[in-house]
Amino acid sequence: MFGFVIGHLIGNLQFFVGPEAINNYGQLLRTSPELLWIIRGFLLTALLLHVVFTLWVVVENRKARPQKYIKQASVQVKQSTRLMAISGMLLLAFIIFHLAHFTAQNVDPSYAGFHDEKGRHDIFRMMFAGFSNPLYSAFYAVAMVFLCSHLSHGAWSWMQTVGLRTKKIAEPSSRGARILALLLAFGYISIPAAVLFGGFGKGYVAERVRSEQASRQESEQGEHISPAAPAALPGDTPSPSAKGPASASAAAGKPSTPANQPPQLPTRGAPVPGEPAPPPVPLPSAPEPPTPPPQAPPPPPAKEGPQP
């Protein structure tokens, strides 16, 4: 858990490097969703086991001494130890909200539509939008303070649990745990503070908003291109102020033709509205071959007479 808190902070601090760095980091995590969910499942399991065993230790301690002390005089109990139960419950509530806010994006579904110019999920813009809300930033900062307190106790208590804490290293380990916890809390709180009080990233987000609005307007103009002049609908009557050939044709009872369109000529064989259909035109047949003229009969043969 301590290693995850450190690694998560290193990834989040890329917010100060710029949109390219943090968005590339987010895209890298999305390229291996199976591995990412395995890590998340491991962390959630470790968190649940931590809560269960903590409650189990509390119950066992109360069973060991059901009667309370007449005078409560704690020895060497730090403030972080006294706040372990409160900080633990607050951190559990914060983790649930944090996952719903930035991971599942249920708090503000518009985060899912944030994309940079390369088509990647715009983590930079999502963090800016989330931390621009004073309530979210305040809750985040308070949770990080309690995280500092919780980690300050856990960083040295685990050494005592496994038997590595001795009188020689007791004070240095406690001091080092407090310094490390303060650095972690400062690193996490610096991000919402830079957005809320310093306006960090405001110029980039404004540029992205303008770019999206311009793209949306171009797409809307392309979808709503109207023709130069609408065609006349059947049954429309021209206005009295109309002049010219269109008015004359309308007065003569002929359908008017818009000025920007050529007159539609009826096709051959198509009936004209208001007139009976013409009879079908017979198709010409193939010409018959010419009859040859009659031939004259041959002349009769000449009769032969006596020769002189």
- Residue 121's beta-bridge partner residues? 115
- In this structure, is residue 88 part of a structural domain? yes
- In this structure, is residue 154 part of a structural domain? yes
Residue that the structure tokens 């591995």 belong to: 35
Residues 6+ apart with CB under 8 A from 87: 80, 146, 147, 149, 150
Q: Which domain holds residue 193?
A: 2-31+78-164+173-213
- Domain count within the chain: 1
- In this structure, is residue 235 part of a structural domain? no
- In this structure, is residue 108 part of a structural domain? yes
Q: What is the pLDDT along the chain (308 residues), one digit of tens a residue?
A: 778 888 899 999 999 999 999 999 999 888 878 888 888 888 888 888 888 888 888 788 778 877 777 776 665 666 666 777 788 888 889 999 998 999 888 999 999 999 999 999 999 999 999 999 999 999 999 999 988 888 887 777 777 777 777 778 778 888 888 888 899 999 999 999 999 999 999 999 999 999 989 888 888 877 655 555 454 444 555 544 444 444 444 444 445 555 555 555 555 555 555 556 666 656 655 556 666 666 666 666 555 444 44
- In this structure, is residue 51 part of a structural domain? no
Question: What is this structure's pTM?
Answer: 0.65
What is the distance between the alpha carbons of residues 214 and 120, in angstroms, rounded to a whole number? 19
Buried (b) or exposed (e) across 173-200, using 16+ Cβ within 10 A?
A: bbeebbebbeebbebbbbbbbbbbeeeb
- In this structure, is residue 263 part of a structural domain? no
Q: Are 258 and 231 in contact (CB under 8 A)?
A: yes
Enter the tokens of residue 203.
């110029």
- In this structure, is residue 251 part of a structural domain? no
- In this structure, is residue 10 part of a structural domain? yes
Enter the tokens of residue 256.
């008017």
